[in-house]
Structure 1
Amino acid sequence: MDVLPRFHLITDFGPLDRDALTRLLAVVGEGAVGTPRVDAVQVRAKQASDREVVAWTRELLAELAPRGTRVIVNDRLDVALAAGAHGVHLGRNDLSVADARALAPVDFLVGATCRGPEHAIAARAEGADYAGVGPVHATSTKDGLPDPLGLDVLAATAREIPAIAIGGITAARVRDVMTSGAHGVAVVAAVWKDPDPPGAAREIAELVHTS
């Protein structure tokens, strides 16, 4: 459990350019040893080409790997492996966890989106390291999501596999999701739509790592 990232920051950029990289690095920060921080960055780039995602992820890894921050690519195992990322997060319609685990290195993180304990049991059996559980609360960050699951479903799912709560997670809600048994949280809007993204990330990191 201790080696699994607890605070996942999901990217929310247009072009994957130098400006995006600079903004992200400012939010992640250097961080003193032992200081709560962003543990993992999930690269979500639906509009970028595969080549763009690979190149940008490699740049990100060069900056973050020495700091101990994991880099995880959403949806695409092939892109994650080509870039040398630390892991992949798979949605419900992506490559199966079992197939990803068969192709990935031993120490490669594989996360799976789960909507409840039954999904978590299956993902764990296939070799998932953690589940992204959500949306826990209503969110406008991503279209086409099902109704919010709520804290009870999160708690039931967290009993089956380390759960990363996602969907409508704000600083004010972190304590509740962690008390429900979540291993950590994944956020988008709570950081990127805040007037002070680095400050918002520090606040959430502190709450996650002290809960």
Structure 2
Amino acid sequence: MTDTLKLTGRDLFWPPADELTEAAERIRARLGDWPPTHAPWRICLTAPDAPNGGDLIVVADEQHQHEQHGEQIARWLVQGAGVIEAGKNGATLQLGGERYRLEGQLAEDWIAALAAFLDCGFDPHDALVLALAWRDGDEKRADDAWPSDIAHFPRVVGLPAAPSQPFAPCPHELGLYPVLPTAEWVERVAGFGVKTIQLRRKSAEPAAELKSEIARSVAAGRKHDARVFINDHWQAALEAGAYGVHLGQEDVHTADLHAIAAAGLRLGLSTHGYYEMLTALHFRPSYIALGAVFATTTKVMPTAPQGLSRLARYVRLLDGVVPILAIGGISADVLPDVLSTGVKSAAVVRAVTEAADPAAAVASLQRDFDR
């Protein structure tokens, strides 16, 4: 890796800032090899005459500054730009109708770091998380200076309170984690000796049928000493006494997390990047799912595939902090590559449900974990 990585061919800053560009190049050169980004992000330290969807306009968030720029900010957002309000205690990004509030330390070169992480292909809200985790001089400490100390990462502001009682723990290594469509499949795969399973029922169905499916799945878990998680349907999971539930990011605002924790159920939360990881950590879940690692056809994903390079860095950050699960598009062919990142748990769907011989497929997948 060279000492600098040339970014001067791109319009990184407005107005042009040679010193910032040089700092961004130094930082970017220590972040590893990433596919070139095609997103036209430009960090604006003063507002351009005609903002566009590639502009991130940085303003001070002091009260008088906010009042002064209030109407301008609204206009910039309507024009498609993003706005970063930065202050002593963190930064807030407004972009695409969303507001991302982060509390943490701003290093002197955080703007240069933001440009470097944007160049690595991260969406602005995740790049901003990494910029706040950056510390001046980090690029001098290692060939790969990627932020990996969770203590340096910012905190997401404005989330609902986490339950006072922590969620029950689950093993650090959940191993093979099939995500299955029916109770019949859960019974079958639990009979193969798999110890962690998720029932994911996405189709609309009568409440009585749903409860029956969940009850059968929970019973199969008890019979075979398997950990059965129920996707989404937390009320029915509570009634059935499930081992745990798995929820998406949107569910933390609607599910009764306090009731789930009080009942002793484990909680798994989906994440699709750094900002959502920090959101999940706020609630102290039993495990965090990282994905989608690869493209998947089993559900519509809100983000592009993460890939193995990102997964490896997520594992480095969260290892020892919370159990983690790789999920999304993981087949038998790529499972060894996924496990090579250091992750100890991986979810599969079609690798089991579409296998010609599911029992043999499970046995083969299990061997990858045992190596």
Please say whether Structure 1 and Structure 2 have the same fold, judged by a TM-score greater than 0.5: yes
Aligned to 2:189: 27
Gaps of 5+ in 1: 14-19, 32-37
Mean Cα displacement is larger for which, 161-170 or 99-108?
99-108
Aligned CA RMSD, in angstroms, stands at 2.4
User: d(CA) in 1 for partners of 2:280 and 2:225?
Assistant: 26
Q: Relative to 1, partners in 2 of residues 1:28 and 1:53: Cα closer, same or farther, differing over 3 Å? A: same
Conserved? CA contact 2:272–2:303, under 8 Å: no
Tell me the equivalent position of 2:178: 9
The Cα shift of 1:11 comes to: 1.3
3-state SS of 1:154 partner: helix
Does residue 172 (structure 1) correspond to residue 341 (structure 2)? The answer is: no
Relative contact order (alpha carbons < 8 A, sep ≥ 6): 1 or 2 greater? 1
Distance in 1 (CA, whole Å) between partners of 2:338 and 2:331 is: 10
Asked whether 1:204 is paired with 2:360, we answer no
Give per-residue Cα distances to partners, 1:152-202, cap 9 Å, x unaligned: 221222222322111111122122212212231111111111111121112
Deviations 1:24-57 (A, max 9, x none): 43333254xxxxxx22221111123333222222
Q: Given the two structures, how large is their TM-score scaled by the length of structure 2?
A: 0.49
Instruction: Quickly say closer, same or farther: Cα 1:162–1:132, change in 2 above 3 A.
Output: same
CA distance in 2, matches of 1:135, 1:182: 14
Write out aligned runs for 1:99-178 (5 A).
Answer: 99-101=256-258, 103-105=260-262, 107-158=264-315, 159-160=317-318, 161-178=322-339
Alignment pair present for 1:39 and 2:200: no
Quote the residue 2:218 is aligned against: 61
Relative to 1, partners in 2 of residues 1:24 and 1:90: Cα closer, same or farther, differing over 3 Å? closer
Compared CA separation, residues 118 and 181, structure 1 to 2 (3 A):
farther
Structure 1 or 2: larger helix share? 1
SS of 2:347's partner is strand
> What 5-or-longer segments of structure 2 have no aligned partner?
1-169
Distance 1:7 1:186 in 2: 6
2:245 is paired with a residue whose SS is strand
The answer as to whether partners of 2:293 and 2:329 remain within 8 angstroms in 1 is yes
Q: Which amino acid aligns with 1:27?
A: V
Asked if residue 94 in structure 1 is aligned to residue 251 in structure 2, the reply is yes
Contact 1:117-1:153 within 8 A present in 2 as well: no
Q: How many residues align?
A: 197
Q: Whose radius of gyration is greater, 1 or 2? A: 2
SS in 1 for 2:262: coil
Q: 1:49-72: per-residue Cα shift (whole Å, max 9, x none)?
A: 333222222122223213210111
Residue equivalent to 1:34: none
- Of 220, 226, 232, the residue aligned with 1:75 is 232
Distance 1:151 1:97 in 2: 32
Distance in 2 (alpha carbons) for counterparts of 1:180 and 1:106: 34
- Aligned CA distance change for structure 1 residues 139 and 7 (closer, same or farther; 3 Å): same
The alignment partner of 2:289 has SS state of strand
1:73–1:40 Cα change, 3 Å: same
